[in-house]
Amino acid sequence: MIRVRQVKVRLGEEDFLKKEVARKLHISVSEILDLIIVKKSLDARRKDDIHYVYEVDVLVVSDSKVLKKTHSKDIFLAPKEEYKLPVMGKEKLSNRPIIIGSGPCGLMCAYMLAKEGYFPIVIERGEKVEDRVKTVSNFWSGSILNPDSNVQFGEGGAGTFSDGKLNTMVKDKFFRGKQVFSIFVEHGAPSEIMYLQKPHIGTDLLQDVVKNIRNSIIRMGGEFRYSACLTDVFIEDGKVVGVEINGKEQISCSVLVLAIGHSARDTFSMLFKRGLEMKAKPFAVGVRIQHPQSMIQMSQYGTMDSRLPVADYKLTYNTSKGRGVYSFCMCPGGYVVNSSSEIGRLAINGMSYHARDSKNANSALVVTVTPEDFGNNPLDGMTFQRELEEKAFLYGSGKIPIQLYDDFRCGIFSTQFGDVLPVIKGEYTFGDLNDVLPSFVTDSICEAMPVFGKKITGFDRGDAILAGVESRTSSPVRIVRDESGEANIKGIYPGGEGSGYAGGITTAAMDGIKVAEWIISRYDNLSS
């Protein structure tokens, strides 16, 4: 096939894609036997010339004949982009591999191992996704928090209650990302994620995808254990030999995958006590800001044309004191959600359904923090997060504290809304977030906002709604692993976002595949 890049098609004229490809190749449309979209992005830099840019693979009768007619760097023989597993190792496994956590990393690792005959056991402290959805919905409606099954914990991981964004800046020379997307599509995700520049699934569709992947793993010989929390690991001669579940059940294992999320603080503490090597790492904290989605749409496109996708944004700024301030986990047409996972502590996140059809856009507006701010002990960042979340919980009496931006920058307690009305899952109350967040965070946000207002018209409007606290942007620790994927305690394979090796659904899933590769390349499977 022939790869053709930079195929530009005006908005509303997508049906003319094949015609435009034929023009670039100097052939007739009838000579195109098949056309596969590889990439599709929207170019809205010029509001009077909004168009799509495609990269496609084209099947013709003779590649060489067509290529002779063209002299462009954007037309060439399509490369082979296939994911390949490593050769299976020879070392014998004495027990089934155990995977702790069923988020993107754990699910993908389990899927690949199950497919190759390793019969993994997945240990999940929360509920299966269909039960978890009910538990979370009840919590948002005022029920008591379940500390083991919530927005952070449970099948599918924290990404299950998010926008389901799949875009990543990671270079993917081994095509693990393509493999992840293929598995998602095979299990119910929209096929468009294979080529969109900014693919997303949405929390509503993602729940079914997670359930379908779980059922495939079970059909291939895998096993899932729910409401099963890792409470201890057993080590002999520097190697893992077993785990303890729920403080009582013991299971032998020689391969243990730690696909824990970054909110598994009790697990981090236990592992640290058992001698697992960890390092503190930077992360970010702040607030989540809401604007009308129509305002973002007009600023980004200059039109409310319904044919355009729901607009998003990405903002960054370095303060006069060297602090990084940036938008994170932007949710077009989304909701702010109470994503707490510990009694007496409050954290928030953003979420969108596939349609992205709520009236508000929201994103985290966060400020970088480093070990210089919270301490170099591996668990000091976790303590820092907890202190902020405790303040937020106490300040709002368990409800999400919210504040208008004008009041925030003036240090005034908000009492009423302006034109922007909140779209929030969970109870909320007015307050002054300056009483919750450190001054270096609030000062940094206030310095960045006018700059962001010049990039997105209206971003710094006075009635934009801030909510706090956004504290779970990424893991505050990294569990050290060597070139073969193992921690200092042999047989333990840290992976995913919680272990400090990913930053979102796609990268966590890709890392789960990477961990599976390490295990497969070393050990023979259990079906031989």
Residue pLDDT, tens place only, 419-461: 999 999 999 999 999 999 999 999 999 999 999 999 999 999 9
- The radius of gyration of the chain from alpha carbons, rounded to an integer in Å, stands at 24
287 and 254, same structural domain? no
Residue 89 lies in a domain: no
Residue 465 buriedness (CB in 10 A; 0-12 / 13-18 / 19+): buried
Report CA-CA distances (Å) from 270 to 114, 273, 278: 28, 5, 12
d(CA 165, CA 504): 8
143 and 32, same structural domain? no
Residue 206 lies in a domain: yes
**Mean pLDDT, rounded, for 512-516:** 98
Report CA-CA distances (Å) from 151 to 20, 338, 373: 46, 8, 27
Tell me if 25 sits within 8 A of 71, measured CB to CB.
no
377 and 343, same structural domain? yes
Residue pLDDT, tens place only, 381-426: 999 999 999 999 999 999 999 999 999 999 999 999 999 999 999 9
Cis previous bond, 170, omega within 30: no
Q: Exposed e or buried b for every residue in 482-507, given b needs 16+ CB within 10 A?
A: eeebbbebbbbbbbbbbbbbbbbbbb
- In this prediction, residue 375 carries a pLDDT of 93
Is 514's pLDDT higher than 80?
A: yes
Give which of 126, 151, 152, 127 is closest to 139, Cα–Cα.
Answer: 151
pLDDT over 90 for what percent of the chain? 96
- In this prediction, residue 217 carries a pLDDT of 98
Residue 309 lies in a domain: yes
Among 77, 107, 127, where does a domain finish? 77
116 and 63, same structural domain? no
* Helix or strand (DSSP H, E) at 468: strand 465-470
Is 270's pLDDT higher than 80?
A: yes
d(CA 246, CA 161): 25
Q: State whether residue 244 is helix, strand or coil.
A: strand
509 band by pLDDT with thresholds 50, 70 and 90: very high
Residue pLDDT, tens place only, 145-191: 999 999 999 999 999 998 888 988 788 899 999 999 999 999 999 99
Domains identified in the chain, total number: 3
Q: Which residues pair with 77 in a beta bridge?
A: 2
Residue 527 lies in a domain: no
431 and 313, same structural domain? yes
Distance, first Cα to last Cα, the chain: 38
Q: What is the CATH number of the domain that holds 33?
A: 3.30.70.2700
For the range 416-419, what are the long-range contacts, defined as Cβ-Cβ under 8 Å and sequence gap of 24 or more? Answer: 417/463, 417/465, 418/462, 418/463, 419/292, 419/463
Q: What is the CATH number of the domain that holds 165?
A: 3.50.50.60
490 and 460, same structural domain? no
Enclosing domain of residue 514: 98-279+478-522
Is 517's pLDDT higher than 90?
A: yes
Give which of 186, 190, 210 is closest to 198, Cα–Cα.
Answer: 190
Residue 88 lies in a domain: no
Residue 407 buriedness (CB in 10 A; 0-12 / 13-18 / 19+): buried
Contact partners, residue 246, CB within 8 Å, separation at least 6: 227, 228, 229, 231
Residue 91 lies in a domain: no
Q: What is the mean pLDDT of the chain?
A: 96
287 and 427, same structural domain? yes
Among 13, 46, 77, where does a domain finish? 77
105 and 201, same structural domain? yes
Tell me if 59 sits within 8 A of 1, measured CB to CB.
yes
* Helix or strand (DSSP H, E) at 409: helix 405-410
Neighbours of 212 (CB within 10 A): 16
459 and 398, same structural domain? yes
Give which of 6, 56, 39 is closest to 177, Cα–Cα.
Answer: 39
d(CA 57, CA 66): 13
255 and 334, same structural domain? no
d(CA 219, CA 283): 39
Residue 84 lies in a domain: no
Report CA-CA distances (Å) from 434 to 367, 397, 459: 14, 16, 20
Q: Tokens 């994927």 appear where? A: 485
393 and 330, same structural domain? yes
- In this prediction, residue 435 carries a pLDDT of 96
* Dihedral angle of Cα 273, 274, 278, 283, to the nearest 10 degrees: -50
129 band by pLDDT with thresholds 50, 70 and 90: very high
d(CA 191, CA 199): 10
* Helix or strand (DSSP H, E) at 403: strand 400-404
Among 46, 77, 108, where does a domain finish? 77
DSSP 45-78: SSTTS-EEEEEEEEE-S-HHHHHHH---TTEEEP
Question: What type of residue sits at position 79?
Answer: P
d(CA 361, CA 158): 20
Residue pLDDT, tens place only, 87-116: 999 999 999 999 999 999 999 999 999 999
Residue 200 lies in a domain: yes
**Mean pLDDT, rounded, for 293-306:** 96
314 and 444, same structural domain? yes
**Which strands sit side by side in the sheet containing 239-245, from one edge to the other?**
230-236, 239-245, 249-252
d(CA 454, CA 451): 5
Give which of 41, 96, 2 is closest to 312, Cα–Cα.
Answer: 41
Higher pLDDT, 12 or 405: 405
Is 528's pLDDT higher than 80?
A: no
